[in-house]
């Protein structure tokens, strides 16, 4: 499931040019007297559609003519000479995402409750967001103009949901005809132009597993190194996605996939020197197995898709322990008490975290408790931490023990402290009796090393800033 890393202006009408949202003081933009609300229409006569265009058309240019429509309706033509490395100091409005024209069997939009935030219903299919944030596209509705743009502006890598190289199966999964589902030519065009692709397969039992999956991986492996990797992630069913053609993913299915794909991975590592086809962490965990060793993931090419996150977290945790050793002991002895609190996470990751935390508790005498929080908002087999909502954390509040509680930072939007059910983090904090933190790994490490100073009981309603 995707949500935008930035707030999409879903209701915004497209206007010419790109709007300035901020001008840094003392910058070239400020010197030119540009202001928020002004729109840049053209750079050196070329139309500007969004901030990527602006970035591309100004890069390396020292003599520039900017066509600007000011907020008050005035038109300016600015002739500029600048040093090559002199930045404009401008921030721009976010990109308005283009929408897909598919009807995927497993579309996440169909799996949302009606009350979910509007941005969760945006069916984005946008090569710009693919380049910027690693959002997957299917390439089915990409226009010639967009293809040219990807190539000209080097919007590489692109993230492409392939699902199956068998055309019939791909068309069936995407809910479109075979002609539109066929992206062989488009992929070839991008790869020939030097654009790299990371592929994705959303694995649907009885549809694109077995021989279809085997063929998909090997077809894509033939395109290595231009196709850099394939992520294989399991279908996620919520209680709202009642599609009778879909079969739920079970632990037995996951175990079988691990077995089958391991043989393929071994073969590809011998031939290509890389694992190439990576299984989602969820597949290993639901199969009741450990995630692979660090070497398996190379440079973690699909980490944005959640692949290798558990391994990466476990490794960072192991590395943290010796670093904490000296500092934490001194902090704990200075405070005269052990760190005592609750870490809330999804039911999938909780057992892994419990093991790590247990070792830490034994080593340092800390008293950290891991609380597995069920996802009632989406229901079904949704068990990852990133899809937990404010309501889910509230439902588990009574099981919190100790002097503080932590929720995963990934459960909040990246640019706004709000959860998927629309609850603001501040509002959630107010309803906990202890300080509540939203932490990523470095925030967690930070909390541990400064625990004696930071962790104090607080009355209900006190606001504590989130670690980012
Ligand atoms: S490509 Fe498929 S899954 Fe993605 S938004 Fe469109 S219909 Fe939904």
- What integer is the mean pLDDT of 85-110? 92
Q: Are 438 and 464 in contact (CB under 8 A)?
A: no
Going by pLDDT thresholds of 50, 70 and 90, the confidence category of residue 40 is very high
Alpha carbon of 197 to ligand 1 centroid (Å): 18
Alpha carbon of 127 to ligand 1 centroid (Å): 14
Weakest mean pLDDT among 109-113, 274-278, 459-463: 459-463
**Which of 1, 10, 103, 107, when mutated, tests ligand 1's pocket best, judged by the most ligand atoms within 8 Å of its CB?**
107
Going by pLDDT thresholds of 50, 70 and 90, the confidence category of residue 450 is low
Which DSSP symbol is given to 93? Answer: P
Q: What is the number of the ligand 1 atom nearest to the C-alpha of 138?
A: 1
Going by pLDDT thresholds of 50, 70 and 90, the confidence category of residue 115 is confident
**Which of 109, 126, 139, 172, when mutated, tests ligand 1's pocket best, judged by the most ligand atoms within 8 Å of its CB?**
109
Q: What count of residues does the chain have?
A: 468
pLDDT at 351: 95
pLDDT at 460: 36
Share of the chain above pLDDT 90, in %: 75
Going by pLDDT thresholds of 50, 70 and 90, the confidence category of residue 442 is confident
- What integer is the mean pLDDT of 440-462? 57
pLDDT at 2: 38
**pLDDT score of 324 more than 90:** no
Q: What is the number of the ligand 1 atom nearest to the C-alpha of 174?
A: 2
Number of other residues whose CB lies within 10 A of the CB of residue 4: 21
pLDDT at 265: 98
> Which class for 415: exposed (0-12), middle (13-18), buried (19 or more C-beta within 10 A)?
exposed
Q: Are 8 and 119 in contact (CB under 8 A)?
A: yes
Q: Tell me the pLDDT tens digit for each residue of 187-222.
A: 999 999 999 999 999 999 999 999 999 999 999 999
pLDDT at 445: 80
């Amino acid at each position: 499931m995707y949500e935008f890393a930035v707030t999409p202006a879903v209701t915004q009408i497209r206007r010419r040019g790109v709007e300035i949202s901020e001008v840094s003081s003392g910058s070239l933009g400020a010197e030119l007297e540009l202001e928020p609300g002004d729109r840049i229409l053209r750079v050196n006569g070329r139309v500007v559609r969004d901030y990527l265009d602006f970035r591309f058309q100004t890069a390396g240019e020292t003599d520039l003519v900017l066509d600007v429509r000011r907020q008050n309706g005035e038109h300016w033509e600015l002739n500029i000479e600048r040093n090559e490395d002199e930045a404009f100091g401008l921030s721009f409005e976010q990109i308005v995402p283009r929408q897909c024209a598919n009807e995927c069997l497993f579309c996440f939009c169909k799996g949302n409750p009606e009350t979910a935030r509007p941005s969760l219903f945006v069916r984005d299919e946008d090569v710009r967001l693919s380049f910027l944030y690693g959002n997957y596209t299917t390439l089915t509705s990409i226009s010639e103009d967009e293809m040219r743009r990807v190539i000209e502006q080097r919007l590489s890598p692109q993230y492409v949901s392939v699902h199956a190289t068998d055309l019939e199966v791909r068309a069936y999964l995407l809910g479109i005809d075979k002609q539109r589902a066929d992206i062989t030519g488009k992929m070839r065009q991008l790869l020939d132009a030097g654009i790299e692709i990371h592929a994705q397969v959303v694995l649907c039992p009885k549809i694109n597993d077995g021989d279809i999956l085997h063929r998909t991986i090997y077809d894509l492996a033939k395109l290595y190194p231009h196709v850099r990797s394939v992520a294989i992630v399991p279908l996620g069913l919520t209680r709202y996605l009642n599609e009778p053609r879909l079969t739920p993913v079970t632990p037995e299915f996951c175990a079988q996939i691990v077995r089958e794909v391991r043989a393929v991975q071994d073969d590809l590592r011998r031939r290509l020197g890389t694992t190439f086809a990576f299984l989602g962490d969820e597949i290993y965990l639901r199969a009741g197995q450990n995630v692979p060793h660090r070497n398996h993931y190379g440079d973690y090419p699909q980490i944005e898709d959640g692949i290798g996150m558990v391994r990466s977290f476990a490794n960072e945790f192991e590395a943290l322990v010796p670093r904490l050793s000296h500092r934490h002991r001194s902090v704990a002895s200075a405070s005269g008490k052990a760190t005592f609190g609750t870490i809330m996470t999804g039911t999938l990751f909780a057992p892994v975290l419990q093991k790590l935390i247990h070792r830490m508790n034994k080593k340092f005498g800390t008293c950290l408790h891991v609380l597995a929080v069920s996802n009632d908002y989406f229901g079904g087999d949704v068990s990852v931490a990133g899809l937990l909502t404010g309501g889910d954390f509230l439902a588990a509040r009574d099981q919190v023990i100790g002097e503080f509680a932590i929720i995963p930072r990934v459960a909040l939007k990246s640019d706004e402290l709000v959860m998927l059910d629309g609850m603001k983090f501040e509002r959630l904090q107010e309803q906990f009796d202890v300080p509540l933190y939203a932490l990523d790994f470095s925030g967690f490490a930070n909390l541990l090393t400064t625990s004696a100073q930071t962790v104090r009981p607080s009355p209900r309603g006190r606001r504590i800033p989130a670690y980012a």
